With several copies, the nearest count.
Chain A
Amino acid sequence: MNTEIKILDTPLDVAGCIDWVMSPDAGGIDVFVGTVRNATKGKPVVRLEFEAYEPMAIKELEKITQQSFAKWPLIRVLVHHRIGILSVGEVPVVIAVSAAHRDAAFDACRYIIDTLKQTVPIWKKEIFEDGEVWVAAHP
């Protein structure tokens, strides 16, 4: 198989993700690693909580990766998204794309993270010292 999509409640293995997309046909791999920032608009973040509607999230991610294979000549695509409680510096998402030529890998990796953030049913709650907010919920 050329695609691996997982929603995990354990720390993501970034090196393992990159190994998975490696291939003797590949000339370049682009990897996006999301990390939990320590602040939002200057306000310190204590931790994050991610929640997914899992079967639908997997289905939407499959659509996005299939679209990527249709748009670019790719070799392998991996998307791992973490759920549960994350501290500052931890990794909520890893997207890794291998291709014979690097332009396709860059374009596809960026397309996947941009589209994931628009369509995949996963939600992030930011917990501050004095309260908590579901990101993007309100205008």
Chain B
Amino acid sequence: MNINILAFGIAKDIFGSPVIELELTNNATVSNIKYLLEQRYPRLKQLSSYMIAVNNEYALPEDTIHHHDEVAVIPPVSGG
């Protein structure tokens, strides 16, 4: 399945776009997404940390992704 990945802050700069498409197998996990992203965008590994959000919630590495999920890369937050 193809999943759109939203990007914010520095992740948007690294991707060069506010959204990219990733091709995933059906049982793909958050971990798998991070691996694929880091393969394609090695600069992600230089961040202090980053999280994946699924449907507007922080996701765990073992969470699996479903077809209509909204997936986003969340670099270190700095609001306030």
| Partner-B contacts on A (CB < 8 A) | 34, 50-53, 55-57, 59, 81, 92-93, 113, 116-125, 134-139
Contact A123 B6 (CB under 8 A): no
With CB as the reference atom, state the residue of chain A lying closest to B72.
Answer: A53
The secondary-structure label for the interface of chain A is mixed
| Partner-A contacts on B (CB < 8 A) | 6, 8-10, 12-13, 46-48, 53, 56-58, 72, 74-80
Across-interface contacts of B6 in A (CB, < 8 A): 53
Which of these, A92, A93, A116, A121, contacts B8 with CB under 8 Å? A121
Contact B80 A121 (CB under 8 A): no
| Nearest CB on A from B64, distance (A) | 19
A124–B72 Cα gap in the complex (Å)?
Answer: 17
Most-contacted residue by chain B among A53, A57, A113 (CB, 10 A): A53
| Nearest CB on B from A135, distance (A) | 4
Contact B78 A56 (CB under 8 A): no
A138–B48 Cα gap in the complex (Å)?
Answer: 5
Contact A117 B76 (CB under 8 A): no
A50–B79 Cα gap in the complex (Å)?
Answer: 7
| A-B contact sample (20 more), CB < 8 A, given A117-B77, A124-B79 | A52-B8, A56-B53, A56-B72, A57-B79, A113-B80, A117-B79, A117-B80, A118-B77, A121-B8, A121-B79, A122-B80, A123-B9, A123-B77, A123-B78, A134-B13, A134-B75, A135-B78, A136-B48, A136-B77, A137-B76
Across-interface contacts of A137 in B (CB, < 8 A): 9-10, 47-48, 75-76, 78
Which 8 pairs, one residue from A and one from B, show the smallest C-beta to C-beta distance? A122-B79, A123-B9, A135-B78, A56-B56, A134-B10, A136-B76, A137-B10, A124-B78
A-B contact pairs, 25 of them (CB 8 A): A51-B12, A53-B6, A53-B56, A56-B72, A57-B79, A81-B80, A92-B79, A93-B80, A116-B80, A117-B78, A117-B79, A118-B77, A119-B58, A120-B77, A120-B79, A121-B53, A121-B72, A122-B79, A123-B8, A123-B78, A135-B78, A137-B47, A137-B48, A137-B78, A138-B48
